[in-house]
Amino acid sequence: MSDTARQAPKFPWDYDVPATAFWNSLDYRTARAFLSCYTEPEIARMDLDDSLTPDERLKHLRSILNYTFEAKTNEVTPASLCDVDHASWSSLKMALGAVEHDLGNADAYEAITREMYDKGANGGKDMSALHRLSGLLEQSGRYAEAEAAAREVLPWLQGHALLGCAESPQALGCMRVLVSSTWKQKRYVEAEKWITKCRSAIEKMRTGRFAKYHDEEKEQLESDVEALRQWRSQHEAL
């Protein structure tokens, strides 16, 4: 989403990741999550070696995040960083989760995401973390769990004060989880209905406040649908 994120209008989740050799090899969402934890002067002082491999870069970012997390935790001890500065705690956890995900450490990513869900602001649940968890569950083949999580989070996304409609990129991402998770439970008729809902939302997106995401969302959905049809052919042939 990096190219799209640079287009107007800007939304809070858009971030102009520097177009440098260090960042270009990393996932945009991971770079955004990391950079959002720091000020520009702090980033300028970091030693970001372009000669590192992508995995080495991720491990370097993880070490920086862990150092920051420990330093901020020590500043508030014996209190909890989660309680004292939930925004910083959440940003650092999200960035750490993104790094673990890209390193292929699925168990670590899931543990961080579940912790974030359980420790939302003001003692509540973090529904954004549940949104990410639903995608992880779908990717790991736990389709019934993914469906349950996505069904819980979708109304929250559609009613969110910032998003507030079915055609936001986040709501569409959640609906794609429902498409895939119902399809791979072989409830094809229901999955087709979700596909129709997604296409309708994407068409509305064309002239709405999220118009800049239209082409990207349309391409992603049709790619997903094609992959699911191939999945069905393979599994029905067994």
Whether residue 22 contacts residue 57, with contact meaning beta carbons closer than 8 Å, is answered with yes
Decide if pLDDT at 14 tops 80: no
Q: Which residue has the higher pLDDT, 40 or 12?
A: 40
Q: What percent of the chain has pLDDT over 70?
A: 92
Task: Say what the pLDDT of residue 9 is.
Answer: 59
User: For residue 165, is it left (φ>0), alpha (ψ between -120 and 50) or beta?
Assistant: beta
Decide if pLDDT at 162 tops 80: no
Decide if pLDDT at 52 tops 60: yes
Q: Tell me how long the chain is.
A: 238
Decide if pLDDT at 143 tops 90: yes
Write out pLDDT tens, residues 93-134: 999 999 999 999 999 999 999 999 999 999 999 999 999 999
- Say which residue the tokens 């720091």 belong to: 38
Decide if pLDDT at 1 tops 50: no
- Say which residue the tokens 């649940």 belong to: 125
Write out pLDDT tens, residues 61-105: 999 999 999 999 999 999 999 999 999 999 999 999 999 999 999
Task: Say what the pLDDT of residue 183 is.
Answer: 98
Using pLDDT thresholds of 50, 70 and 90, give the confidence band for residue 7.
low
Entry pTM: 0.88
- Spatial separation of the C-alpha atoms in residues 93 and 109, rounded to whole Å: 10
CB atoms within 10 A of CB 8: 6
Question: In this structure, which long-range contacts are made by residues 119-125, counting pairs with CB atoms below 8 Å and at least 24 apart in sequence?
Answer: 119/82, 119/89, 121/86, 121/90, 122/86
Write out pLDDT tens, residues 167-191: 789 999 999 999 999 999 999 999 9
